Structure 1
Amino acid sequence: MAYVPGVALLAALVVGCSAGSDSNANGADSKAGSPTVTPAPPGKYETLPAPCRAVPRGMLKDLLPGAAELPGDQQEKVFRGSASVTYDTDRKVGCNWKSDAPDSTRSLSIDFERVVSYDPAVSDDDRADTVYAKKEKAAGLSSSSTPGPDAEKDSGTPDEKEKGKGADEDKPKDAAGDATASSDGSADPSSSSTPSGEASGDDADGTDEATGGGEGGSTDPEDVLPSRILDNLGDAAFLHDAPTRAGSTAQHRTVSVVFRTSNVVVTVRYAEQPALITQVPDSGELQEKAQALARKLAETLSE
C-alpha cells in the first residue's frame, strides 16, 4: 500500500517540473520592455534596366546628330553604346554614347544606381534620398524640402534656441548681413572644398559652374536658364548646367539631370563640344533634350 503513494508523488513531481519549464520559457519571451524592431519597408525596385537599351533609337538619333549618316557598321556601333564598368550590376549600371559630326561632338551617358539600406531602421527610399541629396549639394543646389540627418542638432527648448540666437547676433556679419559660416562650413556657399565620396565622383563639376558665374562661367554672356531644382520628375530632381572652365581653348558644355524615384537614383549627362572655338553650345537645346530623356527614363522605370 505504501508503493502506490510513492508512484503518485513521483508523477506529481514530473508534472510540476514540466509546468515550471513552460512557465519560464513563456516568461522569457514575454518580458516587459523587450525591444520590438519593425524593419523599414524595402524599396520599390529590386532590379535595374539594361542601360544601353534604355534609350529608344529615335531619341538617340536626335541626341547624337550625325550618327544616322554613318555607314551601317559604324552607325550600329554608335547607337549600341558602351556599357559602364561596374562590379555589381544589381546595384549600379550605366551606358555611354558619343558621335562626331562635322560641326560638333556630342556625348551622352546615363547611370542607374539602386540603393539598398542595410540598416533595418532606415528604408531603402530614405537611404536613396540621402545619396541624391549629396549629389544635389555637390551641384551647389539645395531644395531644403526635407530635414536632413543633422536636423536633431537644431532641436532644443525655446530658451536654448533663444540663447543660440543671441550668440549668432554677436558673430561678425558678412557683406550680405548673414552670420559667418558655422564650423561645418554649410553656411558658406563660396567654400572651395570639394565634396568627398561618391557624390563628388558623380558630380565633379564645381559650384561656380552650376551658377555660370566666376571663373567657371561661360565666356559668352548668353541668356540661359541656370542650374535649378526640377519639378514633376521622380520624387526629387535637379538640373546642373556646367559651361566651359576658364582657360579652355574650346567651348564645351555639359548638362546633367539627376533624379530619384523610390530607391533608384538616375543621372543623365549630355554634352556638346563645337568643332570651332568660336562656336558656343546651345544651352537651351542641351537642357531641353536632357530633361526629355530623363522623363523618358522615369516612365520606363515606372512601367
Structure 2
Amino acid sequence: MLRKAYVPGTAALLAALLAGCTDGSSGDGAADDANPGAAGTATAAAQPGRYRTLPEPCGAVGHRTLDSLLPGIKQLTDLDQRDKAYEGEATLTYDNDRKVGCRWKVEATGATDHLFVDLERVVSYDNTVSDDTQAQRIFATKQVAADLPEPVSAGSGAGSASPSGARSGAPGGPAPTSSAPASPASPSASASTGLPSSELQPRTLSDLGDEAFVDDTLGSSGSTAKQRTVTVAFRTSNVIVTIVYEEQPTTVGVVPDSEEMQDKARKLAARLADSLGG
C-alpha cells in the first residue's frame, strides 16, 4: 500500500518536542536548594497533568452506544449472552490508573463488528517535563505513525494525491481523467472503491480534545469481503484515548459505510472526552 504521508507539521512538532528533552537537563544545571543565593540555578518543577485517574473502560461505553456500534447485540435472544456482550472484555493491565482498555466483538446476520477502547494517562518522570508535554510527545508520535495522507485542497489539480488511492489495501495509481459529467455518488465513499471521499479522508480533527485525528482504512480478508477499520484518537491534557472500530460484512461485495462508521466512532470519542474525571 502506497500513500503520500502528510507529516510536515506534525513531524516538525515532534522534532521540536523531542529536542526539548535535552534542554536544561544536564547535571551541571540542576537546582541546588542548599545554595539559594545562586541566581538562575533553581528550576520550577513541571506541572502535573489534569487527570489523576481513568474511568473503568468497559463501563465507560453505555448500552445505547453499544447498540449503535454493535447492532448484533440486539439480535441476541439469550439474555445471558446479551449481558456478556454488553460487558465486553477488559484488556490485561498492571496499573489501572495509568492504562486501561476494553474490547467488544459481536456477530450479526449482516456483519461482525469489533470495538476497542484504550485509555492512557501519561505521567512524566522528568521534573523538567510536564505530564501534558510528555503526552503531547507521545500523541505526536502516534499521529506520525498513522501516516495521514496530505489533505486535498479546494481547486487542486489532477496531479494531487487521491485520498481513495492512498488508503486502499492494494497499490493504486491516479484515476483516469474524463470530461464526462460525474455521476451521482455516495457522499461517504467512492462508488467504485468504497473508499472515503475527500471530506472523509483520514485527517486531523479540531473539535475533539486538545488534538485529535481520524484514520479510515478499507482492507480485505482472505476472501473478497471488505473490512473497514476506523480509528479515532485524541488527547486531552495528559490522557490519550484511542478508539478502533471495525466492521466485516458477511456478504461479499458489501462495503461498510465510511461516513456512518466515522460518525459513530467520533460520537463515542466525544462522550468519552466528556466523561473523563479530573
Deviation of 1:92 after TM superposition, in Å, equals 0.4
Q: Relative to structure 1, is the Cα distance of residues 248 and 242 closer, same or farther in structure 2, using a 3 angstrom cutoff?
A: farther
1:97-122, CA deviations, whole angstroms, 9 ceiling, x for partnerless residues? Answer: 11100110011010000000111111
Q: Give the C-alpha shift of residue 278 in structure 1.
A: 1.4
- Does residue 267 (structure 1) correspond to residue 242 (structure 2)? The answer is yes
Aligned to 2:193: 220
1:284 Cα shift? 1.1
Kindly indicate which of the two structures has a greater share of residues assigned to helix. Answer: 1
Please tell me whether residue 129 in structure 1 is matched to residue 136 in structure 2: yes
Which amino acid in structure 2 is aligned with residue 299 of structure 1? Answer: D
Report the Cα distance in structure 2 between the residues aligned to 1:240 and 1:300, rounded to whole angstroms.
Answer: 23
> Within 2, Cα distance between the matches of 1:254 and 1:38?
44
**CA contact under 8 A between 1:209 and 1:242: conserved in structure 2?**
no
- For residue 235 of structure 2, what is the amino acid of its counterpart? R
Higher relative contact order (CA 8 A, sep 6+): 2
Q: CA deviation at 1:29?
A: 3.3
* Cα offsets for 1:252-276 (capped at 9, x unmatched): 0100000000000000111100001
The correspondence of residues 27-38 of structure 1 with structure 2, limited to 5 A, is: 29-33=35-39, 35-38=41-44
Alignment of 1:113-192 (within 5 A): 113-141=120-148
Percent same amino acid among aligned pairs?
A: 47
1:112 aligns with 2:85: no
1:242 partnered with 2:197:
no
Change (3 A) 1:41 1:222: closer
The separation in 1 between residues aligned to 2:204 and 2:38, in whole angstroms, is 49
Match of 1:203 in 2: none
- 1:47 matched to 2:53? The reply is yes
Deviation at 1:69, TM superposition (A): 2.6
8 Å Cα contact 1:255/1:269 also seen in 2: yes
Indicate conservation of the 8 Å contact 1:256/1:267, yes or no.
yes
Aligned equivalent of 2:67, options 61, 65, 68: 61
Q: Distance in 1 between matches of 2:169 and 2:85?
A: 36
Q: How many residues are paired up?
A: 214
- Counterpart contact for 2:111–2:249, Cα < 8 Å: yes
Cα deviation code 1:145-170 (max 9, x no counterpart): xxxxxxxxxxxxxxxxxxxxxxxxxx
CA pair 136-102 structure 1, distance change in 2 beyond 3 A: same
- Residue 77 in structure 1 maps to residue 80 in structure 2: no
Unaligned runs of 5+ in 1: 1-27, 144-175, 177-188, 190-207
1:88 has 2:95 as partner: yes
CA–CA distance in 2 between the matches of 1:29 and 1:45?
A: 34
Distance change >3 Å, CA 88–CA 297, structure 1 → 2: same
Contact 2:53 2:277 in 1 (8 A): no
The Cα of 1:220 is off from its aligned counterpart by 1.9
Counterpart residue identity of residue 282, structure 1: D
What is the CA distance between 1:211 and its match in structure 2? 3.8
With structure 1 as the length reference, what TM-score do the two structures score?
0.65
| Displacement of 1:34 | 6.5
Query: In structure 2, do the counterparts of structure 1 residues 131 and 38 end up closer, same or farther at CA, with 3 Å as the change threshold?
Result: same
Does the C-alpha gap of structure 1 residues 134 and 142 become closer, same or farther in structure 2, counting only changes over 3 Å?
A: farther
TM-score (normalizing by structure 2): 0.70
Q: Which amino acid aligns with 1:58?
A: R
The Cα shift of 1:212 comes to 1.5
TM-aligned CA distance change 1:210 to 1:136, over 3 Å: farther
Deviation at 1:89, TM superposition (A): 1.4
Deviations 1:21-41 (A, max 9, x none): xxxxxxx63443471010011
Amino acid paired to 1:47? T
